[in-house]
Amino acid sequence: MTITTHSLISTFTPPHHTFNHHHHRHHQLKPPLKPRAQLSLTTPQPPTSQPTPTTTGVIVIGAGLSGLAAAVRLHADNIPFLLLEAADAVGGRVRTDTVDGFLLDRGFQIFITGYPEARKILDYKTLDLQKFYSGAKVYYGGRFHTVADPLRHFSDAIQSLTNPIGSVFDKSLIALTRVRVLTQSDEQLLSGEETSTISLLKRIGFSDSIVDRFFRPFFGGIFFDRELETTSRLFDFIFKCLALGDNTLPAKGISAIPEQLAAKLPSNSIILNSPVASVDNSDSIYTVTLKNGEVLQSEYGVIVAVEEPEAVKLLAGEWNMDNFCSEIKQPVRSTVCIYFSAERSQVPVDDPVLFINGSGRGIVNNMFFATNVAPSYGPPGKALVSVSLIGLYEDESDEDLRVRVVEELSSWFGPDVAGSWTYLKTYRVRFAQPNQCPPTDLRKNSKVGNGLYACGDYRTSATFDGALVSGREAAEALLKDRSLVRAS
Ligand SMILES: Cc1cc2nc3c(=O)[nH]c(=O)nc-3n(C[C@H](O)[C@H](O)[C@H](O)COP(=O)(O)OP(=O)(O)OC[C@H]3O[C@@H](n4cnc5c(N)ncnc54)[C@H](O)[C@@H]3O)c2cc1C
């Protein structure tokens, strides 16, 4: 029996499990690709009276950015697939909740427009990207000091030359670092000589002042690692992307990014609320068993696009795998994000600027008024305050953290201001990013077994872009191995 993806899903899962798009599209097979095996989406004859497993071309497990990118690549070649996701929506770590009319991203995230893969796969215009100021305000010595990108805010940068955040020499080293990263390819930066970020900064000659007051809070906030032990390769890559693009937020929340990718896929190919329990391979048939006991099979293989700790649980021990390390580097990178609402009149600045803590004291690493960047993050007249800490603070309750944060920000902005904000919600993200301290391999091959591919940020750079690249590459490796690549 030949079945389409549409009928396949409807026999497999109740309609509420499927991803609902506004436009209902059906999967249509284009003319056969060359060279390729005749694609037969067939249901094998059941050996026993067991229910017949659903069969498709490829099964992708995990609908974060990497799984979505893999699915988009498969779909571009009309390969039938199912994308199985444990959660109730796509996005993985890139999700946004709507609470009382506020858009709350699950942890502070910035979309850098300079990401090379993102530029290719995303439609920036539709994302309606809202820009941050290119630079930051550093809290140090009881006041704020501006650090500005001289190419975008020249006069601010000149004025900031003499501030205490770093010497004039430090600021010239930033310009030299920019030239160094811009004159190398991404490939070179991601696979070149590496050390920790902190060692690189010292080797370049940056002073302790600029390291402690700017690099620790700024890049520590990106890596969730104030020690800056993260590989210099990631520092170089992100430094380059920052130089090439803007820091932004999509007007509809960070989840607009995965949602845009999901909207490119056939509406019934994404199956939500479907955690996978195991992946097996015998006689060249790949079997995926869901936690609810349902079984799916794929003809060409399986792409595992789950976060590293889940991938280790799902794969380690079961497969004789090349190129897959079952040891997770510790500590994994965690963060806490605390949201407050305010009247717009209770916000001390209008600038769409990131505030970072260069004082070396307190628990706040960075904060910003999200509605200054994207007014759509709050209902009319209201402001959204987003405060980020590095680490998980497991021993402290949400209430304790709230009190500490308000106290700390009262010294930044005055008790009348910070004391007037209303607490909204706390997000604790245990696995925000994998630990990417040296030695790293940020270009891991996606093939981990016969017909088995792994992708995700832990296999490349722990960024949106790294996840997107690794998903595409996993799909391409499968297409190549199965001779499904369209003849050019
Ligand atoms: C708070 C925070 C801030 C960040 N800020 C930035 C930033 O500013 N810039 C940047 O570039 N990057 C940032 N990142 C990193 C970036 O979000 C990640 O690198 C990227 O989203 C990882 O995508 P992924 O597909 O590899 O994994 P994930 O997004 O983790 O996707 C994995 C998916 O697999 C699903 N899954 C897991 N187990 C199973 C199972 N058994 N069965 C089915 N499905 C399963 C999960 O539910 C999830 O949807 C941030 C991350 C966090 C958490």
Looking at residue 485, what is its pLDDT?
72
| 250 assigned to some structural domain | no
| Domain end call among 245, 275, 295 | 245
| 408 assigned to some structural domain | yes
Residue with tokens 């899903």: 9
Minimum-distance ligand 1 atom for the alpha carbon of 456: 26
Minimum-distance ligand 1 atom for the alpha carbon of 274: 43
The b-or-e profile of 432-458 (16+ CB within 10 A means b, else e) is bbbbbbeebebbbebbbbebbbbbbbb
| 450 assigned to some structural domain | yes
For residue 44, give the 3-state DSSP assignment. coil
Find the 12 Cα to ligand 1 centroid distance in Å. Answer: 27
Instruction: Verify that 170 and 112 share a domain, yes or no.
Output: no
Instruction: Verify that 339 and 417 share a domain, yes or no.
Output: yes
| 192 assigned to some structural domain | yes
Minimum-distance ligand 1 atom for the alpha carbon of 314: 41
Number of domains in the chain: 3
Q: What is the CATH number of the domain that holds 63?
A: 3.50.50.60
Find the 308 Cα to ligand 1 centroid distance in Å. Answer: 10
Minimum-distance ligand 1 atom for the alpha carbon of 64: 31
Query: Which amino acid is it at 462?
Result: A
- Adjacent-strand bridge partners of 326: none
Instruction: Verify that 449 and 420 share a domain, yes or no.
Output: no
Looking at residue 486, what is its pLDDT?
62
Query: Which amino acid is it at 374?
Result: A
CA distances 238 to 108, 113, 167, 250, 469, Å, are: 16, 11, 23, 19, 15
- Adjacent-strand bridge partners of 55: 297
Q: Cβ neighbours of residue 450 under 8 Å, at least 6 residues apart?
A: 281
Instruction: Verify that 316 and 459 share a domain, yes or no.
Output: yes
Instruction: Verify that 75 and 104 share a domain, yes or no.
Output: no
Edge-to-edge, what's the strand order for the sheet holding 247-250?
A: 111-112, 247-250, 129-131
Mean pLDDT by 10 residues, the chain (488 residues): 33 34 33 32 48 88 98 97 98 98 98 97 98 95 91 81 89 94 97 97 97 96 97 97 96 98 96 96 89 96 97 80 82 97 94 97 98 98 97 98 98 96 98 96 92 96 98 98 74
For 393-410, the DSSP string reads -TTS-HHHHHHHHHHHHH
Instruction: Verify that 113 and 191 share a domain, yes or no.
Output: no
| 324 assigned to some structural domain | yes
Looking at residue 325, what is its pLDDT?
81
Residues in contact with ligand 1 (CB, 6 Å cut-off): 61-67, 84-87, 92-94, 107-110, 275-276, 305-307, 310, 314, 335, 429, 432-433, 456-457, 462-464, 467
Find the 422 Cα to ligand 1 centroid distance in Å. Answer: 29
| Domain end call among 189, 210, 245 | 245
Find the 431 Cα to ligand 1 centroid distance in Å. Answer: 9
Query: Ligand 1: which residue has its CA nearest to atom 5?
Result: 109
Instruction: Verify that 195 and 156 share a domain, yes or no.
Output: yes
CA distances 13 to 18, 373, 404, Å, are: 8, 41, 47
Q: Print the domain residue range for 410.
A: 97-130+331-433
Find the 286 Cα to ligand 1 centroid distance in Å. Answer: 25
- Other Cβ atoms less than 10 A from the Cβ of 151: the count is 11
Q: Which residue of 235, 307, 427 sits with most ligand 1 atoms within 8 Å of its CB, as the best mutation to test the pocket?
A: 307
Q: Which residue of 19, 109, 110, 121 sits with most ligand 1 atoms within 8 Å of its CB, as the best mutation to test the pocket?
A: 109
**The two three-digit tokens of residue 71, written as one number:** 């699915």
Looking at residue 487, what is its pLDDT?
52
Q: Report the candidate in 2, 60, 106 with the shortest Cα–Cα distance to residue 304.
A: 60
Instruction: Verify that 321 and 346 share a domain, yes or no.
Output: no
Instruction: Verify that 356 and 287 share a domain, yes or no.
Output: no
- Is 5 within 8 Å of 80 (Cβ atoms)? yes
Instruction: Verify that 285 and 194 share a domain, yes or no.
Output: no
- Is 56 within 8 Å of 5 (Cβ atoms)? yes
Instruction: Verify that 325 and 343 share a domain, yes or no.
Output: no
Q: Which residue of 83, 306, 339, 444 sits with most ligand 1 atoms within 8 Å of its CB, as the best mutation to test the pocket?
A: 306
Q: What is the CATH number of the domain that holds 409?
A: 3.90.660.20
Find the 197 Cα to ligand 1 centroid distance in Å. Answer: 23
Query: Ligand 1: which residue has its CA nearest to atom 13?
Result: 463
Q: What's the chain's length in residues?
A: 488
Please work out, in degrees rounded to the nearest 5, the angle formed at the alpha carbon of residue 99 by the alpha carbons of 93 and 105. Answer: 25
| 24 assigned to some structural domain | yes
Query: Which amino acid is it at 130?
Result: Q
Minimum-distance ligand 1 atom for the alpha carbon of 69: 25
| 448 assigned to some structural domain | yes
Looking at residue 320, what is its pLDDT?
67
Find the 87 Cα to ligand 1 centroid distance in Å. Answer: 12
| 309 assigned to some structural domain | yes
Looking at residue 198, what is its pLDDT?
98
Minimum-distance ligand 1 atom for the alpha carbon of 463: 11
Instruction: Verify that 413 and 351 share a domain, yes or no.
Output: yes
For residue 131, give the 3-state DSSP assignment. strand
| Domain end call among 194, 218, 245 | 245
